[in-house]
Amino acid sequence: MNLRFYPYTINLKDEFSISVGSRTTTPAVMVEIDQDGITGYGEASLPPYLKEDQESISNFLKKLNISKFKFTVELDSILDSVDNLSADDNAAKAAVDIALHDLVGKIKNVPLYHYLNISKSENVFTSYTIGISDEKSLKKKIALASNYKFLKIKLGTENDKKNIEQINSITDQKLFVDVNQGWNDEHFALDMIYWLAEKKVVLVEQPLPKAKRKEAEWLNNKSPLPLIADEAVQTLNDIELIKNAYSGINIKLMKCGGIRQAYRMILKLRELNLKIMIGCMTETSCAITAASHLASLADWVDLDGAELIYNDIFTGCKIENGKLIIPESAGIGVEKIAN
Ligand code: MG
């Protein structure tokens, strides 16, 4: 096998920037692994809180001696050696994991969900992120997103109630709320969640700072809505620690190290009777499509990442009337459309 990689900058559509001054680009590294003329595609996308950057990814990939492997060995043993290269570097590992899953699906000529023995659901609805802005552009954005069953709204500012009331006045769509650790006090958070429960909100993601685990347990015991951990959980090993503090976890390939680890997290969450959300960073259709193959196993899905960017270099999973259309072609099912 051969591995190539190149840096890429993902550009977020301006209208989806969450607030004035927020970042509109996300660095990424794209990975390609070949064997016998077949190419598997992978991606590492790097939001600032992951602590990885294009240089650390490049260093990790240079350390990885993939040419010693051939797909005559099990995928698992290759991924074990990728995992054992370092303690962290989860986005770098995710890029390799996605490319290898794409490659193995193509070699075996089956779509990834089939390779993973997942029965595909035709009813996987993704949420769609709406950036808060002035009323006129908010109305326009919501009109464009009218086919989605769920809208995702970022909260955590002093305008939270006003923003939600404004959205409720425009649409009856159900809402996922992501606080991004923005409420500091658990009593304030509980009052807000009771209020949100009357405002078409389905779930609340990461209401408190991730370090406030005891406070999150208190909140989780009293909350009328499911609370979903995002920043508080990166990998499989974190799940035990937070199992009483949240109703479920937002699993993202870039946080956990890829498809194999995400699947392990799903199994662990089921065992603990916790809810499963499959989410994403700002990503191209490469990583989004890879994650879509796990989406049939989730309670909630937030895979709108590729819809929010304007320089996607892949086609793959599509969204029609708010439903994910998971590709049937071999591997993850993406096609590279630009360099
Ligand atoms: Mg989040």
pLDDT for the residue numbered 74: 82
Q: What's the CA-to-centroid distance between 288 and ligand 1, angstroms? A: 15
Q: Is the pTM of this model over 0.75?
A: yes
Strand-pairing partners, residue 134, are none
Please list the residue range(s) of the chain that carry CATH number 3.30.390.10.
2-109
pLDDT band, residue 85 (cuts 50/70/90): very high
Q: What's the CA-to-centroid distance between 278 and ligand 1, angstroms? A: 11
Q: What's the CA-to-centroid distance between 178 and ligand 1, angstroms? A: 6
Q: What's the CA-to-centroid distance between 110 and ligand 1, angstroms? A: 32
Q: What's the CA-to-centroid distance between 230 and ligand 1, angstroms? A: 5
CA dihedral 117, 228, 23, 319 (to 10 degrees): 40
Is residue 19 pLDDT above 70, yes or no?
no
How far is residue 172's CA from residue 33's CA, in Å, rounded to a whole number? 45
How far is residue 138's CA from residue 148's CA, in Å, rounded to a whole number? 15
Q: What's the CA-to-centroid distance between 165 and ligand 1, angstroms? A: 21
Q: What's the CA-to-centroid distance between 115 and ligand 1, angstroms? A: 29
What does pLDDT average to over the chain?
A: 94
Which CATH number applies to 2-109: 3.40.50.300, 3.30.300.30, 3.30.390.10, 3.20.20.140? 3.30.390.10
Question: Which residues, other chains included, contact 323 with Cβ-Cβ below 8 Å and sequence gap of 6+?
Answer: 122, 123, 124, 125, 126
Q: What's the CA-to-centroid distance between 250 and ligand 1, angstroms? A: 7
Instruction: Tell me if the domain spanning 115-336 has CATH number 3.20.20.120.
Output: yes
Please list the residue range(s) of the chain that carry CATH number 3.20.20.120.
115-336
How far is residue 258's CA from residue 114's CA, in Å, rounded to a whole number? 17
